[in-house]
Amino acid sequence: MEKKRCNFSFGTKGSASEKALRYHDTRWCKPEHRESELYAMLVLEGMQAGVSWDLILNKEENFRRAFDGFDPQTVSRYGEEKIGKLMEDRGIIRNRRKIEAAIANARAFLKVQEEFDSFDRFIWGFTDGKTVDHHLSDVSEMPAKDELSEKISAELIRRGFRFVGPTIVYSYLQGIGIVNDHWEHCDFRSAENG
């Protein structure tokens, strides 16, 4: 029997790509606590501004390679020479502001880790470690942003993060499982998510 999914597409052509389906089924709205992946998703969500998520998923491995496995320690030390190389890398989004934001965010990420012992503790602390489940039944019920994403966005910006407006942050919260927007009928709602 075929599994039921949320019936919206992460793609741009009306139907989801294999990568988008795999992302939906295995990663989207699933609680993530690994520091490297929390940083990776922050970069990927920032890169996604103005383009489709499908494009980001198609380039994800290129991003991981180009940004040294999304190691925030390494990325925080990038200078002009590395920025120049990234600007020439056709496998990624070559937007200087987004690349500079990834570097600034690595530095801010490390400061948060130092203050809170982990970025995980900081970001999940906004919901006391619990997933916010919206129990959606239709795409029209899914907001682009909410009060939580606005609060977190303001705090991230205060701490020096860039490309973290409320809409990007809402998508980030879905991506790391703080928000569960899998629809009620979706077979990929995990027990862990509600």
User: Which helix or strand (DSSP H or E) is residue 182 part of?
Assistant: none
Query: In the annotation, is 23 catalytic?
Result: yes
pLDDT at position 10, please?
53
Amino acid at 45: E
List of residues 6+ apart from 5 with CB closer than 8 A:
21, 24, 25, 186, 187, 188
Residue 113 CA to residue 91 CA, distance in Å, equals: 30
* DSSP H stretches of helix in the chain: 18-26, 35-48, 53-66, 72-76, 80-88, 96-116, 119-124, 147-158, 166-175
pTM: 0.92
| More confident site: 97 or 186 | 97
Q: Exactly one of 28, 53, 170, 172 is catalytic; which is it?
A: 53
pLDDT at position 148, please?
98
Q: Exactly one of 28, 32, 39, 45 is catalytic; which is it?
A: 45
**DSSP per-residue string spanning 34-58:** -HHHHHHHHHHHHHHTTS-HHHHHH
**pLDDT tens profile 39-90:** 999 999 999 999 999 999 999 999 999 999 999 999 999 999 999 999 999 9
Amino acid at 42: L
> Average pLDDT, whole number, for the chain?
92
pLDDT at position 8, please?
64
Query: In the annotation, is 100 catalytic?
Result: no
pLDDT at position 14, please?
54
List of residues 6+ apart from 187 with CB closer than 8 A:
3, 4, 5
Residue 166 CA to residue 192 CA, distance in Å, equals: 25
pLDDT at position 193, please?
41
pLDDT(9) > 80: no
Query: In the annotation, is 183 catalytic?
Result: no
Nearest to 111 by CA among 156, 141, 70, 152: 156
Which class is 19-180 in CATH?
Answer: mainly alpha
Q: What are phi and psi of 53, to 5 degrees?
A: -65, -30
**pLDDT tens profile 106-146:** 999 999 999 999 999 999 999 999 999 999 887 788 899 99
pLDDT(191) > 70: no
pLDDT at position 12, please?
47
